[in-house]
Structure 1
């Protein structure tokens, strides 16, 4: 009995460590996925730098008590897996949403992104956001456009004045 308790304490500490280093955590219901599908999903997560793990709900509840991730406790029913976004907070939700399109047995449940609890609808909205690189590109394009238009206007104005002279 004592050894079992020690093992659980070790797992709770491992879970605490994963949550403390994560920018986000997304809860998924993986029931019905085949071994091949689970392996495919894990490899997608691994390639994106996302940590994906299945833990006992009670141990997760103990680990997230008094943290920003505590609201996830309400959704910890049935079999769950957790995708931890270590480098990018949005990537786990994007991968799960995309994978769930082709594999109906995988369901998003909820998540915490940058310290804020997100229900199913909110996590789907986050998954639909463009990537950071795309957003930066759009921003730079919108900043560049007025400057380019002004330079084009000045160039045409100079050419027009030269033609008149």
Structure 2
């Protein structure tokens, strides 16, 4: 499909807005993936506040040129799919890692978070970042354990006094 300059500018403007508000980005080599699997991935991505785009490499390089994801520029070659996390930095990495278990042809190239590149071997670091909900649950569990421990120590002290 041939794109004229007007369409290219529209694509760059649209994806640049997403690029500016994204917390992290993951680039993937999607060669050999059937369209049905890509459609399933897109459906899951909408549920997880992840935006997935397939963009020409030259346009993608223009988009990330002056952004936090500039470190990904040398890795952009071949068929590229980019996933942007909007609400949680690890959302895209989790989604891609989960999808990678389903289809082995899906190759994670790298990710970017806080202007740093994360290799495909270390993508699990980004995927394991707890969500806000998970962090609050962990905090409540810790508070509960601390209060129960305090109660038990108090009861033991009362028993030792008598």
Tell me the residue number matched to 1:102: 102
TM-score w.r.t. structure 2 length?
0.87
Q: Is the 8 A contact 1:53 1:83 kept in 2?
A: yes
Tell me the residue number matched to 1:150: 150
Deviations 1:7-34 (A, max 9, x none): 2222211221110011111101111111
Tell me the residue number matched to 1:49: 49
Instruction: Provide the C-alpha distance between the structure 1 equivalents of 2:33 and 2:81, rounded to a whole number of angstroms.
Output: 12
Q: Is the 8 A contact 2:31 2:105 kept in 1?
A: yes
Structure 2 counterparts to residues 66-81 of structure 1, below 5 A: 66-81=66-81
Deviation at 1:147, TM superposition (A): 3.2
Aligned length: 160
Deviation at 1:122, TM superposition (A): 2.6
SS of 1:118's equivalent in the other structure is: strand
Instruction: Provide the C-alpha distance between the structure 2 equivalents of 1:155 and 1:30, rounded to a whole number of angstroms.
Output: 61
SS of 1:27's equivalent in the other structure is: strand
Tell me the residue number matched to 1:93: 93
Task: Calculate the aligned-residue CA RMSD, in Å.
Answer: 2.0
Deviation at 1:160, TM superposition (A): 5.6
Tell me the residue number matched to 1:121: 121
Name stretches of at least 5 consecutive residues in structure 1 with no aligned partner: none
Deviations 1:95-154 (A, max 9, x none): 111111120111111111233322212323222444443343334433443332121121
Q: Is the 8 A contact 1:31 1:105 kept in 2?
A: yes
